[in-house]
Amino acid sequence: EIVMTQTPVSLSVTPGQPASISCKSSQSLLHSDGKTYLYWFLQNPGQSPQLLIYEVSNRFSGVPDRFSGSGSGTDFTLKISRVEAEDVGVYYCMQSLQPPLTFGGGTKVEIK
């Protein structure tokens, strides 16, 4: 199975400051169809995960443009340009290139 490794485990950010989360996969997530099957989710406290970014860099409907995703192959990054209070929670990367779906261990973001 593809192993997803996220860093850091936790992040404390001042409102208005940027934040960055790294995700590395144990093998390339590039499919023969040209797409890279890497996703980012945010799980707010007590809620189910919500999709932020799909296929590395595409913001899902309704996601603020302060969220951006980048990367290729095995190395990926989620950036928040200016963290807001509503961004607290746990961020997960996920691959769907091949079963089983696998998730990173999560990055807990809190506000200073």
Closer CB to other proteins, residue 73 or residue 105?
Answer: 105
Positions that interact with other proteins (CB under 8 A):
39, 43, 47-51, 54, 60, 90, 92, 94, 96, 99-106
Comparison of 30 and 51: residue with beta carbon closer to other proteins: 51
Task: State the nearest-atom distance from the C-beta of 50 to other proteins, in Å.
Answer: 7
**CA distance linking residue 29 with residue 2, whole number of Å:** 9
Residue 60 half-sphere exposure, CB side, CA atoms within 13 Å?
12
Shortest Cβ distance from residue 15 to other proteins (Å)? 26
Q: Which is nearer to other proteins, 82 or 110 (CB)?
A: 110
Other residues' Cβ atoms within 10 Å of the Cβ of residue 14: 10
Minimum distance from CB of 21 to other proteins (Å)? 14
Indicate the residue among 16 and 100 with the shorter CB distance to other proteins.
100
In the complex, minimum distance from the CB of residue 74 to other proteins, in angstroms, rounded to a whole number: 20
Please report how many Cα atoms fall inside a 13 Å half-sphere around the Cα of residue 40, on the Cβ side.
28
Note whether 101 and 2 are within 8 A (CB): no
**What residues have CB less than 8 Å from 30, skipping those under 6 apart?**
36, 72, 73, 97
